[in-house]
Amino acid sequence: MNRYREAVDYYASKGENYVLFNSGDEHASIIFENIFRTAKEEINIHAYDLCNDLTSKDGYLNSLESFLKEDNTKLNILLSTYNYECAKNSKLFILLRRFHDKVNLYHLNGAEIKVKEEVVHFCIADNKMYRYEFDVTNRKARCNFNEPEMSERLKSLFDMKIKSSTRVELN
């Protein structure tokens, strides 16, 4: 796992246009930590409900908190479903409530985003970085720290789905 972390750290810090494949919580955590660490302006996340082991890991939370502490940063989250019971005590949602002025949270009332009939989850940062999860059961995904074209397509999909979503107040 250390070699994978080193490779991801390298591509993230250099902003290289290189596709990295990943699967499982550990790989996903490394990717998200690097996206959160290298993003400077805006992160957009689409996920099921963000109530899982990955989003309670210290590395995930600490790197997201560092991003949110920076000036002029913004986080937009679009969930398929909002799980109030989970969010009430979740470390992630406690963090998001602390930064409620920088976080926009929406949900799709249980609807999933599908591409070619497959449910997908994704994260886009600064309109150039992304993690695209094409197998949500096994967390299989591809990631790139400098591919604006794919990032723009995902951002367009994200923005289109926001229009049919419901906003959640965090404070």
> Band of the pLDDT at 16, cuts 50, 70, 90?
very high
- Stretch 96-112: mean pLDDT, rounded? 97
Helix (H, G, I), strand (E, B) or coil at 91: helix
Q: Identify the band that residue 1 occupies on the pLDDT scale cut at 50, 70 and 90.
A: confident
**DSSP 8-state code for residue 136:** T
Cα–Cα distance for residue pair 48/108, rounded to 1 Å: 9
- pLDDT tens for 105-144 read 999 999 999 999 999 999 999 999 999 999 999 999 999 9
The tens digit of pLDDT for each residue in 67-92 reads 999 999 999 999 999 999 999 999 99
User: What digits encode the pLDDT tens for the residues 37-53?
Assistant: 999 999 999 999 999 99
Residue among 80, 77, 76, 78 at smallest CA distance from 109: 80
Q: What is the average per-residue pLDDT within 11-40?
A: 96
Yes or no: say if 17 and 146 are a contact pair by the CB < 8 Å rule: yes
Mean residue pLDDT of the chain comes to 96
d(CA 110, CA 108): 5
What the chain holds in terms of domains, given with CATH numbers, is: 2-168 (3.30.870.10)
Instruction: For 119-128, write each residue's pLDDT tens digit.
Output: 999 999 999 9
Q: Is 168 helix (H, G, I), strand (E, B) or coil?
A: strand
Q: What residue type is 147 in one-letter code?
A: E
Please give the sequence-ordered ranges of beta strands (E in DSSP) within 10-162, or none if there are none.
Answer: 20-22, 42-47, 74-79, 103-107, 114-115, 118-119, 121-125, 129-135, 140-144
Query: Quick one: pLDDT at residue 128?
Result: 98
Distances (CA, A) of 28 to 39, 89, 104: 16, 23, 22
Alpha carbon 115 to chain centroid distance?
17
Type of residue at 31: I
Q: What is the pLDDT of residue 106?
A: 98
Could you read off the pLDDT of 2-15 as tens digits, one per residue?
Answer: 999 999 999 999 99
